[in-house]
């Protein structure tokens, strides 16, 4: 787990979760990510962490999609640029939903994609153990 602190007094740490359609081709997916990252770089935001969760099912359909790909970014940027970024993300082609939040001081960033993979391995081992016990 990592804790980020702002490097300047006039910047804050923000978490941006983005939902993209799962049906995007690899090229479209990479182009969309590049477009999102360019929006932040135009505002001189510093990328601290990027966590690609991969494809997940949605609780309800969004614009006709039942599955989406989640990406969570952590950026350091000035609070005055947040409103413009929110607007630009709403207009960005390929973005179904986004959420841009300021994280509290001392917030620990967890790499969920790694934790999920570890959980899957643990679950598989538990199933194997319980199957052996039943025999």
Residue ranges with strand state E in 1-135: 2-3, 12-21, 46-62, 65-77, 97-102, 108-109
Better pLDDT: 30 or 119: 30
- Rounded to an integer, the average pLDDT of 34-38 is 94
pTM summary value: 0.81
Taking the chain, what is the end-to-end CA distance rounded to the nearest angstrom? 39
In whole angstroms, give the CA distance from residue 87 to residue 71: 18
**Band of the pLDDT at 16, cuts 50, 70, 90?**
very high
Which position has the higher pLDDT, 134 or 59?
59
Q: Which of these ranges, 38-47, 77-86, 107-116, 122-131, has the smallest mean pLDDT? A: 107-116
pLDDT digits (tens, 9 = 90+) for 83-120: 999 999 999 888 999 999 999 888 888 778 788 788 88
For residue range 59-92, list pLDDT tens digits in order: 999 999 999 999 999 999 999 999 999 999 999 8
Q: Which two tokens stand for residue 91?
A: 């207009």
């Amino acid at each position: 787990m990592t804790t980020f602190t702002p490097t300047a007094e006039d910047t804050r740490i923000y978490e941006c979760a983005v939902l993209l359609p799962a049906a995007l081709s690899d090229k479209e997916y990479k182009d969309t990510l590049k477009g999102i990252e360019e929006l932040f770089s135009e505002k001189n935001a510093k990328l601290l962490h990027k966590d690609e969760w991969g494809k997940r099912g949605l609780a309800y359909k969004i614009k006709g999609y039942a599955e989406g790909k989640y990406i969570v970014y952590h950026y350091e940027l000035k609070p005055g640029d947040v409103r413009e970024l929110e607007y630009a993300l709403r207009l960005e082609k390929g973005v179904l939903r986004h959420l841009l939040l300021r994280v509290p001081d001392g917030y620990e960033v967890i790499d969920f994609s790694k934790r999920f993979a570890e959980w899957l391995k643990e679950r598989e081992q538990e199933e194997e153990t319980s199957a052996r016990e039943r025999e």
